[in-house]
Amino acid sequence: MDLSPYPYEHPVWWLYVLVLAFCVYWDIRYFRIPNGLVVIIAVSALGMLGLRAPDLLVTHVLVAGIGFAIGFVLFQVAAMGAGDAKLLSAILLW
């Protein structure tokens, strides 16, 4: 497998961009973000980290956890939706 230093040259990165665009569309149209799409983003991020930078895996997971905690607090004060909090943590895995 070719591991170019540029992530946009890898097909998984384009899958991430496509699914993220679909999340944006779905959120604007229906005010919901399907869990399956968030799972695809999270799994693709973990897969790319495992292939490209396994030493940074723990760091990315910690940052995503902190982002989820912040999103959860924002959800509790009605400043952000729960789907947005989940999507935030999945995006932070990248």
Interval 24-40 mean pLDDT: 94
Look up residue 48 and give its two tokens. 């790319």
- The C-alpha atoms of residue 5 and residue 31 are separated, in whole angstroms, by 36
Give pLDDT, residue 42.
94
Give pLDDT, residue 3.
58
- Total-model pTM: 0.84
Look up residue 63 and give its two tokens. 């940052």
Give pLDDT tens digits for 36-94.
Answer: 999 999 998 898 888 888 888 999 999 999 999 999 999 999 999 999 999 999 999 98
DSSP state of 55: G
How far, CA to CA in Å, does 37 sit from each of 63, 71, 79? Answer: 20, 18, 22
- The C-alpha atoms of residue 88 and residue 66 are separated, in whole angstroms, by 10
- The C-alpha atoms of residue 34 and residue 43 are separated, in whole angstroms, by 15
- The C-alpha atoms of residue 46 and residue 52 are separated, in whole angstroms, by 10
- The C-alpha atoms of residue 75 and residue 57 are separated, in whole angstroms, by 26
- Considering only residues 75 and 8, tell me which one the structure prediction assigns the higher pLDDT: 75
- Considering only residues 78 and 12, tell me which one the structure prediction assigns the higher pLDDT: 78
